[in-house]
Amino acid sequence: MLQEKISHRANNGLLPTPPMPEGLGTIELSENSRRVLMRRYVRRGKDGEPIETIDEMFWRVAYHVASCEEKWDEDYLESACNYYQLLISKSPGKFSLVVY
């Protein structure tokens, strides 16, 4: 069922991303930050119009960073939610990188 939800988001050969779970929160940004993100990083459709919000963009990044944990049979959806919370908190001190 998750694959069905993911496959409809495939766009222009880009990795498909499942819908953002409800209740994850939203990021608070300055107007300038929002403009830069919308201009440079938010996915766009064939017509050039945005096909995701800024929060969905952060979810996309968090999901794909966490998806590599599937190799170790981890619940990477939970990890994706944790990464998302880390990204929207804008607190780099909360993250510790583990290198194997």
Tokens of 28: 């608070």
Tokens of 25: 């929160």
Q: Which among 52, 50, 61 has a CA at the least distance from the CA of 84?
A: 61
Confidence of residue 5 (pLDDT cuts 50, 70, 90): very low
Residue bearing the bigger pLDDT, 93 or 99: 93
**What pTM does this model have?**
0.76
How far does Cα 22 stand from its chain's mean position? 13
Give the start-end residues of each E strand in the chain. Answer: none
Range name among 16-20, 32-36, 88-92 with the lowest pLDDT average:
88-92
Residues 83/92, Cβ–Cβ less than 8 Å: no
Distance separating alpha carbons of residues 75 and 28, to the nearest angstrom: 28
